[in-house]
Homo-oligomer: A and B are copies of this chain.
Amino acid sequence: MLSHAEITTLLISVGLLLGLARILAEVARRVGQPSVVGEILAGVLLGPTVLGTIWPEGKEALFPSTGGLPAARSALTTLSVTLFLLVAGMELDLTKILKRRRAAVLVSLGGITVPFALGWLPAYLAPQWMGAGEGITPTLFALFVGTAMAISALPVIAKILMDLHLFKTELGATIIAAAVIDDLCGWVIFGVILALMGTQAGHAASAASASAGTQPAVWLSALLVVGFAAGMLTIGRWLINGVLPWVQAHTAWPGGVLGFALVGCVLCAAFTEWIGVHAIFGAFFFGVALGDSRHLRTSTRTTIDQFVSFIFAPLFFASIGLRVNFATNFDLLLVVVVLVIACVGKFTGCATAGRLAGLPRKESLAIAAGMNARGAMEIILGLLALEAGLISDRLFVALVVMALVTSMAAGTMMQRFLGRSKSVRFVDYASGKTFVAPVPGRTRVDAVADMGRIAAEAGKVDVQMAVDAALAREQVLHSGVGHGVAVPHARVAGLSQAVVAIGLSPEGIAWGSRDGRAVRVIVFLLTPEQDARLHLDLLASIATTLRDPATVDLAATAKTWTEFLAAIKTSGAENSSR
């Protein structure tokens, strides 16, 4: 039982950790980086690295190292990472592998073998310097470093591909399929290492009893890991796919499925923890089997995904920063060596394999850049190795830094190799200054003139010219796009950047649109004369965002720019999922 004071401390520390993690994740997102960077930083700030250095008493008060709280924190982070791996597993799409077999297998093979070999060699030759744990044999340590270099991070890669609109392309599918194979192999190998080690640690502890009789236990453990993974991907998948319709048909919706998913995950996790590897293996492979079922509904996926990604994952990653002192354990040379091995290995391996599979040079490089992202998976791998005593704090810090750097670089590099750009959102060109609610004009012409004036003033171009251009265009091409939305447009010479002005009319203005509806949301586009592409992108963004009548309703009744933005931001997610 926790005392009154301990419960208070627990709640404050969870609130602060989660709050700061979310805030810094938002900041990271703003500058185009994965949110995991911000989440880990939250822990670094509140943990031994910063708070513990400048105010040790404060850190100890917030995260006491005695009493019941260390156990409570340990339970919470274990459950959080277990659930995170459930979601990571659910995101693996096994069918993708089957479709893109040749290229994916080649790329993943290249992406595993080359970095593995490059990592294995120095670790085997200089285990002490690389940061092997005490009493760990060079072979085992080198096996781990090789695996750590070979793993990829599906969630980060998937996120980058979505941002670049590559997720559903041929190229995206190849990368995803290769990453899936990489991850599956990597985790199985790591599971075997842990299994071998678990008993090795037992050896070290009771060296006397290290008779030949205990040796089989090591291999039994390793065999159980491989067997469990293989079983989950075959019988487990088939079983879950068969049981799901029954659960959905005969239990409360959606509680039955949610309960089934979580109970299954936790029990599989308990099983793998019991056989001597970590709980997350069970969760991961259960997730793979569950996510593969065609009977799993999107809304179930979304509920689990949202709660885990935005609550449990930040909590877990922030707790990483609490674990070690990132300043004192930062060994620049080791960081550079690890980073170089990791990048050179993945790039050489994947790009060569891509060329062998017959892909063009640019695409091969883009695939390599994507596969190079290590993200959350590397960090979890490192943490488990640290907890198992396999590696030192120094190497752990180097692995975390490598994971973050490779993840941060992947998006930009892929973008460069492919010449792709991120999608345009019309609200990014608008602001509180170009927003007016309600529009003063009561007729179509007056309203267009009002909006033209606001946009021209914001864009610092001649007002009369912009208004005339918009009205002239209105004669030729009617701006009502239906659903109560109108998109008047003026193309102006000498404008440096597009300006979007947004005007609302809660009661509606008769516009003569084809669907006969009065216009309630006016989106005025003022674009540079030469940039025809941008205009089309803006129109596409407006069409996608304001497609849904419920969103238009909500947006039209917004009272402030913030409320309007909130209506737009929450639109897709409100009605569809993901």
Q: A: which residues have CB within 8 A of B? A: 1-2, 4, 6-8, 10-12, 14-15, 18-19, 22, 25-26, 29, 35, 67-72, 74-76, 78-79, 82, 244-256, 258-260, 262-263, 266-267, 269-270, 273-274, 279, 295, 297-299, 302-303, 306-307, 309-311, 314, 560, 562-566, 568-570, 573-574
Contact = CB atoms under 8 A, between A and B. Distances in A.
Nearest to A74: B2
B70 A249 contact: no
Contacts of A564: 249
- In the assembly, how many copies of this chain are there? 2
Contacts of A79: 14, 76
Given A252-B29, A299-B574, A303-B307, A15 B263 contact: yes
A11 B251 contact: no
Contact of A72 (B74, B563, B568): B74
A26 B252 contact: yes
A250 B560 CA distance: 14
A271 to B, nearest CB: 9
Given A249-B569, A251-B26, A74 B11 contact: no
Contact of A75 (B2, B12, B258): B2
A-B residue pairs, 4 tightest by C-beta: A68-B71, A249-B565, A72-B75, A248-B566
Contacts of A570: 248, 253-254, 297, 299
Contacts of A245: 560, 562-563, 565-566
Given A2-B78, A71-B68, A270 B306 contact: no
A261 to B, nearest CB: 10
B1 A74 contact: yes
A310 to B, nearest CB: 4
11 contacts: A8-B270, A8-B279, A18-B263, A75-B75, A76-B79, A248-B570, A249-B568, A249-B569, A250-B562, A297-B570, A303-B303
A12 B267 contact: yes
Contact of A253 (B14, B67, B253, B573): B573
B71 A1 contact: yes
Contacts of A248: 565-566, 569-570
A568 B249 CA distance: 8
A209 to B, nearest CB: 18
A270 B307 contact: no
Given A306-B254, A310-B259, A566-B295, A11 B266 contact: yes
Contacts of A279: 7-8, 11
B562 A12 contact: no
A299 to B, nearest CB: 5
A570 B301 CA distance: 13
A254 B231 CA distance: 35
B306 A258 contact: yes
B566 A270 contact: no
A253 B551 CA distance: 15
Nearest to A29: B252
B258 A310 contact: yes
Nearest to A75: B72
A64 to B, nearest CB: 11
Nearest to A246: B562
Contacts of A297: 570, 574
A13 B18 CA distance: 26
Nearest to A314: B259
Given A70-B68, A279-B7, A19 B569 contact: no
B310 A273 contact: no
A75 B10 contact: yes
B18 A266 contact: yes
Contact of A309 (B76, B255, B274): B255
A311 B254 contact: no
Nearest to A73: B75
Contact of A295 (B14, B270, B563): B563
A134 B404 CA distance: 57
B263 A19 contact: yes
